[in-house]
Structure 1
Amino acid sequence: MSRITHRTATPGEVAQILDWAAQEGWNPGFEDAPAFHAADPGGFFLAETGGRPVAAISVVNHDAHHAFLGLYICHPDYRGQGIGLGLWHHALKHAGNRGIGLDGVPAQEANYAASGFVLTDRTRRLTGQFAPQEPSLHLARPQDMAALARLDEAATGLRRGAFLHVWLGDSATRKTVVLREGPEVTGFATARRCGTGCKIGPVIAPDPDTALRLARQAAAALDETLAILDVPDSRAAFGALLRRGGFTESFATARMYRGPAPQGNGTLMAVATLELG
């Protein structure tokens, strides 16, 4: 095998990494790559041998204090050779002194713990069908973006405006619905079409019942009924509502942090994406 080299991925290669994720069964959104890259253009990395990319990882710096690790993938033909681990150590340097989060499969918890990551929560992927309904909430407008960013920061403890500017953008495969109380936006949910169904996140709401309404309306805005939500255990009441509606768990991840974890206000009912937190 040729020497392994590491480098930063280009925007087009971020899209290729998400194609790999689709092949792994992760079911990314059709237009996730531009939002991922906008979050931190320098935060996506490849390992190459003989000029061929064989492994990928992201360490996205959301703000001055917090980063998030994801998209940790090695080509099946090159696993078990230390290539992924070498890329892991290379990419972690990008975070500097920031606290780093990740959503890892439980089988890898011990390995992540050995690298200093501590379990803080678990996230359950819940999949089910919403009954078709007429949209009754308004779509987000460009002039809402500042308010949505404030809600997101309060909910997540992260300042990630560059990511949200693209993630919340309106397109044929992506819709964000907002809840208004008078002139004030008090909640929102984003649905994005995937290879299978639509994923809904973030869902930011003052209570579980409102979160369920937002999720249903986000799916309706895309004219989708099959919905997938990643719900933290710390929002078990929202997960219970979904389960009563027939949603079932397909897998769980361990939310772990090395260094300080961001502190939200309890209104994040479903995460935006397991790859970026």
Structure 2
Amino acid sequence: MMRTATAEEVGLIIDWAADEGWNPGLDDARAFHAADPVGFFVAEEDGEIVAAISVVNHSDSFAFLGLYLCRPDWRGKGVAFALWKHALAHAGERTVGLDGVAEQQANYARSGFALTGATSRFEGAARPAPALRGATPEDLPALTALDETANGITRPRFLGAWLADCDTRRTLVLDGPEGPAGFATARLCREGCKIGPVVAPDGETALALADAAAAALGAEAFILDVPSAQGGFREALKARGFVATFETARMYRGTPPEAADTLYAVATLELG
């Protein structure tokens, strides 16, 4: 049986992701579920969940696929692919994006996904950062607009939850002459601290934002998932001693969004 996951089950799915080494955030379940409460799906056999997936509808025109997981003893039996097709129907005619492991590209291509780039994970030490202020609820419209320009999509429900401070998450804002000009969100994960999204006018500012966001959570090191379009930023990270540890394929089914050059790190590989 295939059905929509409950909010509690979204937490279980994220635990599965942790078991697979994906290193989710400590408070991801709440923000993920808020993005699209009916965008998480499970397959059940004999009353037990054996596979899961998310297809989160961020807007009327864009969705993102992630958390595609299957219990090892149920792999190769067609259950996961049936759930894949069931979940994709939730997106309707929307463009759907995903960040998938490279060895699965051919499988995704058979479902209409085309490769557009890659996302590389960089890990390294934080440095002292300039003092930047924390985001406030009043900043949300401006930060949503910056995120929309950077990603080429609108996702207000996700950002409303993702940018809300809690014990394990902080968002720092860079102010410009006309209001917020950039921001970065840090979140504590099962291992270490991830920073994303990072939206900034240039690479130097992006690094300063990341350092400041890490410092807000007391992290001495951090992880960034950097789009392949930011080649210069990747080189700057390597020059600073960051190491690339993992890469995913960014693929879309449908017309890819028109992103700007201000996105230096994605929010999460699961929801974009």
Corresponding residue of 2:109: 113
SS of 1:70's equivalent in the other structure is: strand
Corresponding residue of 1:172: 167
Could you tell me how far apart the structure 1 residues matched to 2:213 and 2:238 are?
Answer: 18
Corresponding residue of 2:46: 50
Which of 3, 6, 13 pairs up with 1:10? 6
Could you tell me how far apart the structure 1 residues matched to 2:266 and 2:93 are?
Answer: 24
Mark the runs of 5 or more structure 2 residues left unpaired by the alignment.
none
1:84-233 aligned within 5 A: 84-131=80-127, 133=128, 136-233=131-228
Which of 10, 20, 27 pairs up with 2:23? 27
Q: Does structure 2 conserve the Cα–Cα contact (< 8 Å) formed by 1:212 and 1:241?
A: no
SS of 1:256's equivalent in the other structure is: strand
Mark the runs of 5 or more structure 1 residues left unpaired by the alignment.
none
Aligned residues: 272
Q: Does structure 1 conserve the Cα–Cα contact (< 8 Å) formed by 2:130 and 2:208?
A: no
Could you tell me how far apart the structure 2 residues matched to 1:265 and 1:245 are?
Answer: 25
Q: Does structure 2 conserve the Cα–Cα contact (< 8 Å) formed by 1:21 and 1:28?
A: yes
Q: Does structure 1 conserve the Cα–Cα contact (< 8 Å) formed by 2:186 and 2:213?
A: yes
Could you tell me how far apart the structure 2 residues matched to 1:218 and 1:243 are?
Answer: 20
* Percentage of pairs with the same residue: 58
Could you tell me how far apart the structure 1 residues matched to 2:256 and 2:129 are?
Answer: 39
Residues 179-198 of structure 1 show CA distances to partners (whole Å, capped at 9, x for unaligned) of: 00235100000000011110
Give the root-mean-square deviation of aligned CA atoms: 1.0
Could you tell me how far apart the structure 1 residues matched to 2:130 and 2:23 are?
Answer: 25
2:59 maps to 1:63? yes
Q: Does structure 2 conserve the Cα–Cα contact (< 8 Å) formed by 1:106 and 1:253?
A: yes
Corresponding residue of 1:245: 240
Residues 185-229 of structure 1 show CA distances to partners (whole Å, capped at 9, x for unaligned) of: 000000000111100000000111110100110100101012111
Could you tell me how far apart the structure 2 residues matched to 1:197 and 1:134 are?
Answer: 18
Residues 36-66 of structure 1 show CA distances to partners (whole Å, capped at 9, x for unaligned) of: 1111111000000011001000001111111
2:260 maps to 1:265? yes
SS of 1:234's equivalent in the other structure is: coil
Q: Does structure 2 conserve the Cα–Cα contact (< 8 Å) formed by 1:135 and 1:220?
A: no
Q: Does structure 1 conserve the Cα–Cα contact (< 8 Å) formed by 2:171 and 2:185?
A: yes
Residues 67-126 of structure 1 show CA distances to partners (whole Å, capped at 9, x for unaligned) of: 110000001111111111110011010000001111111101111111111001100011
Could you tell me how far apart the structure 2 residues matched to 1:269 and 1:199 are?
Answer: 13
Q: Does structure 2 conserve the Cα–Cα contact (< 8 Å) formed by 1:99 and 1:260?
A: yes
TM-score normalised to the size of structure 1?
A: 0.96
Could you tell me how far apart the structure 2 residues matched to 1:116 and 1:142 are?
Answer: 39
SS of 1:269's equivalent in the other structure is: strand
